[in-house]
Amino acid sequence: MSEFQNIGLIGRTGSDSAVLSLKRLMAFLEQEGYAVVLEKDTATAVSANKARVSSKEKLGELCDLVIVVGGDGSLLAAARALAKFSVPLLGINRGRLGFLTDITPDEVERKVGEVLAGKYMAESRFLLDMSVARGGKPVDRGTALNDVVLHPGEFIRMIEFDLYIDGQFVYTQRSDGLIISTPTGSTAYALSGGGPIMHPKLDAIVLVPLNPHTLSSRPIVVEGSSEFKIIVGGQNITKPYVTCDGHDQIITEPGDVIRIHKKPHRLTLVHPLEHNFYETCRSKLGWAE
């Protein structure tokens, strides 16, 4: 008997192709005798009136495995919601790049069947917790699997901020912002910003300045247990934004303190046995061209 009996499904509801893959996956799972639980928006998209339906967060309590059908953004959202429940995630790619969602639509039955039969590899990824305080009082917080980004927001204006790592002052910087990225996020926005590619198994965090107003400012890689404090400068013309995975957005004020550290809960990603990080880089980043 498979260790995964209750299977949660989350889909990219605005995509017709994702909905088709969801229906195909549902039919396969039900035929094989698995109990399927649909996230509520996903259930609406596939018109599954008789299916068992749950909120995204509740899937973490009800399911042994959650399968995400969509792009990396869909899996990032699922990870933020479900990491605290320790339920593993498996991705089917109906997006563009697919660094995290690595099963293609035409191999759904075969690959998912292999995973459910115990033929898979599990990978642990860490997330980041971010909080903003104003005048010593908490304002807002967020969670990121890829990155936390400080940026100018609506206006293209250089911003100023102070950076501390583990209580030690690093620098005052004037730039378009700063990316604080996990190894998972190192192939996303941080890569576009000139940061290094980090293997997912690394316990490290990279800080990538965005267009710094100095030639000597470069990405810094530090240990994963590091704690970061960013103080928003008081002379900024614009109010900088801070975002988690490009999703949750907080508008800061001068003097706000942003704190970032590793989340205590880790995410388990499930891959087919032949999954290979370097092969993924070759195919997704065009190394073989």
Question: How distant is the alpha carbon of residue 240 from its chain centre?
Answer: 22
- What pLDDT sits at residue 1? 66
* Cα distance between residue 34 and residue 234, in whole Å: 57
According to the model, what pLDDT value does residue 235 have? 84
72 is known as an active-site residue: yes
Q: State phi, psi for 171 to the nearest 5 degrees.
A: -170, 160
- pLDDT at residue number 185: 97
Position 163 confidence tier, pLDDT thresholds 50, 70, 90: very high
Distance CA 20, CA 153 (A): 36
pLDDT confidence bin for 289, thresholds 50/70/90: low
pLDDT at 288 over 80: no
Mean pLDDT of 227-255: 93
Instruction: Enumerate the known binding-site residues for NAD(+).
Output: 72-73, 146-147, 157, 174, 176, 187-192
Q: Are 36 and 51 in contact, with CB atoms under 8 Å apart?
A: yes
* Residue 82, Cβ density class (10 Å: 0-12 exposed, 13-18 middle, ≥19 buried): buried
CATH code of 6-118, in short, is 3.40.50.10330
Task: Give the residue extent of every domain in the chain.
Answer: 6-118, 127-264
Handedness of CA 211, 213, 218, 221 (dihedral sign): negative
Give the span between the Cα atoms of 231 and 173, in whole angstroms. 11
Q: Give the CATH superfamily of 127-264.
A: Probable inorganic polyphosphate/atp-NAD kinase; domain 2 (2.60.200.30)
Give the pTM.
0.94
Identify the weakest region by mean pLDDT among 53-62, 82-91, 92-101, 167-176: 92-101
Q: Which CA distances in Å does 152 have to 129, 134, 140, 260?
A: 21, 18, 18, 18
Give the side-chain half-sphere CA count within 13 A for 205: 27
Who's near 193: CB < 8 A, 6+ residues apart?
Answer: 179, 208, 209, 210, 219
**pLDDT tens digits, one per residue of 69-115:** 999 999 999 999 999 999 999 999 987 777 898 899 899 999 999 99
> Pairing state of beta strands 228-232 and 120-134?
unpaired
**Could you say which of 72, 102, 245, 256 is catalytic?**
72
> In Å, what is the CA distance from 44 to each residue of 10, 47, 55, 131, 225?
11, 5, 12, 33, 41
